[in-house]
C-alpha cells in the first residue's frame, strides 16, 4: 500500500511524519500489554492453543484487529515458538512442560497502525543454558536498537547484533529478518540481523521498522516443517527471539512496544 502521505526513499522505505509516531505508540502499546498479561498464563500444563485463545480474546476486547489472522492463510492471533522452534510456531494442543522456553509474537492493528512485538517466556524453572541464550538474544536486540540512529546504515544494525551474538559463541539465524511496518505489516527494508558496517540503506528520521533477532545455541540453519509455517533449527538446538517495533528520530529511536509493566525482560524473574 503506497497511498499513504509522505515520501519513499530511493530504497523504497517510507518516511513517516511526526504525527504518525502517536499511532504507532498506540498499536505498539497494546501488543506489549497483551504480552505483559500472557506472562502469568505461561505455566507447565498450559497448551499453546489456550495462550492463543486468550490473546485472541484480549485483542478483541481492546477493539483491535489481529494482523496475523488471515495473513497468508495463517489462522491465529499469535505465533508461539517452543524450544528449538525458531519462529512461526502454530498454537495447538502442545502442552508446556517444566523448563520449556517459548517466544510469543503478537501483531495488532489499532486505527490502521501495526504493532509487532515478541519476547521470551519460560514455563516453570529456567535451565541455565536457556537463561544464557535468552540473555544474549535480548542484549543483541538492544545492541541493534542502539545502532538505529540517523546516518547509520542497516548494515550497522546487523553488524552490532551479529558480532555480539558470535562473541558469545551463539549463532544468528539468516533465514528470517525484521521489516519495515507502519500502515502495513511487512514493508521495505528487510532488516537483517547480520551484516557489515557501512553497508545497506542509510537510516533517516521517520523510518518505522522491527528488529527481531533469532539466536541459536547451535548452528544457524533452519528448516520449515510440513505445515508450511513452523521453522525449527536443523540441529535441534535451542532458539530464542525478541522483537521490538521502533521509529527513527534525530536521536535515540522511539520504541513503540516497550512493556508498560516492565516485563519485556527478564521474563524469568517476574
38 binds ligand MF3 (CB under 6 A): no
Residue 175 per-residue DSSP state? S
Closest to ligand MF3 by CB, 107 or 162 = 107
Between strands 187-191 and 222-224, the pairing is unpaired
Closest to ligand MF3 by CB, 88 or 126 = 88
Residue 243 per-residue DSSP state? B
User: How far is the C-alpha of 212 from the C-alpha of 135, rounded, in Å?
Assistant: 14
Instruction: Identify what 58 binds: Co ion, ligand MF3, none; CB under 5 to 8 Å per kind.
Output: none
The minimum distance between CB 185 and ligand MF3, in angstroms, equals: 7
The minimum distance between CB 22 and Co ion, in angstroms, equals: 21
Residues 6+ apart with CB under 8 A from 6: 14, 15, 16, 17, 20, 206
The minimum distance between CB 227 and ligand MF3, in angstroms, equals: 11
52 binds ligand MF3 (CB under 6 A): no
Residue 163's SS3 state is helix
Tell me the number of residues near ligand MF3 by CB under 6 A. 13
244 binds ligand MF3 (CB under 6 A): no
Instruction: Identify what 74 binds: Co ion, ligand MF3, none; CB under 5 to 8 Å per kind.
Output: ligand MF3
Burial of 258 (0-12, 13-18, 19+ CB in 10 A): middle
212 binds ligand MF3 (CB under 6 A): yes
User: How far is the C-alpha of 86 from the C-alpha of 91, rounded, in Å?
Assistant: 14
User: How far is the C-alpha of 99 from the C-alpha of 93, rounded, in Å?
Assistant: 18
Closest to ligand MF3 by CB, 100 or 243 = 243
- Applying CB under 5 A, the residues found at the interface with Co ion are 105, 116, 118, 210, 243
Binder to ligand MF3 among 14, 88, 183, 265 (CB under 6 A)?
A: 88
Cell 528448516 belongs to residue = 223
User: How far is the C-alpha of 19 from the C-alpha of 5, rounded, in Å?
Assistant: 12
User: How far is the C-alpha of 25 from the C-alpha of 127, rounded, in Å?
Assistant: 34
Residues 6+ apart with CB under 8 A from 10: none
The minimum distance between CB 199 and ligand MF3, in angstroms, equals: 23
20 binds ligand MF3 (CB under 6 A): no
Each residue of 43-55: b (16+ CB within 10 Å) or e? eeebebbebbebb
The minimum distance between CB 125 and Co ion, in angstroms, equals: 27
Instruction: Identify what 4 binds: Co ion, ligand MF3, none; CB under 5 to 8 Å per kind.
Output: none
107 binds ligand MF3 (CB under 6 A): yes
Residue 39 per-residue DSSP state? G
Residues 6+ apart with CB under 8 A from 260: 29, 32, 33, 36
The minimum distance between CB 167 and ligand MF3, in angstroms, equals: 25
The minimum distance between CB 23 and Co ion, in angstroms, equals: 17
Q: Which stretch binds ligand MF3 (CB under 6 A): 47-55, 69-77, 149-157, 220-228?
A: 69-77
Residues that bind ligand MF3 (CB under 6 A): 68, 71-72, 74, 79, 88, 105, 107, 116, 210, 212, 229, 243
Amino acid at each position: 500500500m503506497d497511498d499513504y502521505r509522505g515520501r519513499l526513499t530511493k530504497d523504497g522505505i517510507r518516511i513517516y511524519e511526526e504525527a504518525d509516531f502517536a499511532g504507532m505508540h498506540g498499536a505498539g502499546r497494546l501488543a506489549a500489554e497483551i504480552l505483559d498479561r500472557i506472562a502469568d498464563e505461561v505455566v507447565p500444563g498450559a497448551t499453546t492453543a489456550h495462550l492463543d485463545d486468550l490473546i485472541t480474546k484480549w485483542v478483541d476486547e481492546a477493539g483491535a484487529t489481529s494482523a496475523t489472522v488471515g495473513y497468508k492463510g495463517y489462522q491465529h492471533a499469535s505465533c508461539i515458538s517452543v524450544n528449538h522452534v525458531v519462529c512461526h510456531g502454530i498454537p495447538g494442543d502442545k502442552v508446556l512442560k517444566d523448563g520449556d522456553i517459548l517466544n510469543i509474537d503478537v501483531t495488532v492493528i489499532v486505527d490502521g497502525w501495526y504493532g509487532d512485538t515478541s519476547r521470551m517466556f519460560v514455563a516453570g524453572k529456567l535451565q541455565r543454558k536457556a537463561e544464557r541464550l535468552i540473555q544474549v538474544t535480548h542484549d543483541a536486540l538492544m545492541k541493534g536498537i542502539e545502532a538505529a540512529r540517523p546516518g547509520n546504515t542497516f548494515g550497522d544494525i546487523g553488524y552490532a547484533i551479529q558480532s555480539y551474538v558470535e562473541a558469545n559463541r551463539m549463532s544468528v539465524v539468516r533465514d528470517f529478518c525484521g521489516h519495515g511496518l507502519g500502515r502495513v505489516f511487512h514493508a521495505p527494508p528487510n532488516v537483517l540481523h547480520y551484516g557489515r558496517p557501512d553497508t545497506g540503506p542509510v537510516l533517516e528520521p521517520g523510518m518505522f521498522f522491527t528488529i527481531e533477532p533469532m539466536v541459536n545455541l547451535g548452528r544457524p540453519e533452519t528448516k520449515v516443517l510440513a505445515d508450511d509455517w513452523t521453522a525449527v533449527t536443523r540441529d535441534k538446538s535451542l532458539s530464542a527471539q525478541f522483537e521490538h517495533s521502533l521509529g527513527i528520530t534525530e536521536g535515540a529511536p522511539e520504541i513503540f512496544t516497550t512493556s508498560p509493566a516492565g516485563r519485556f525482560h527478564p521474563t524469568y524473574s517476574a
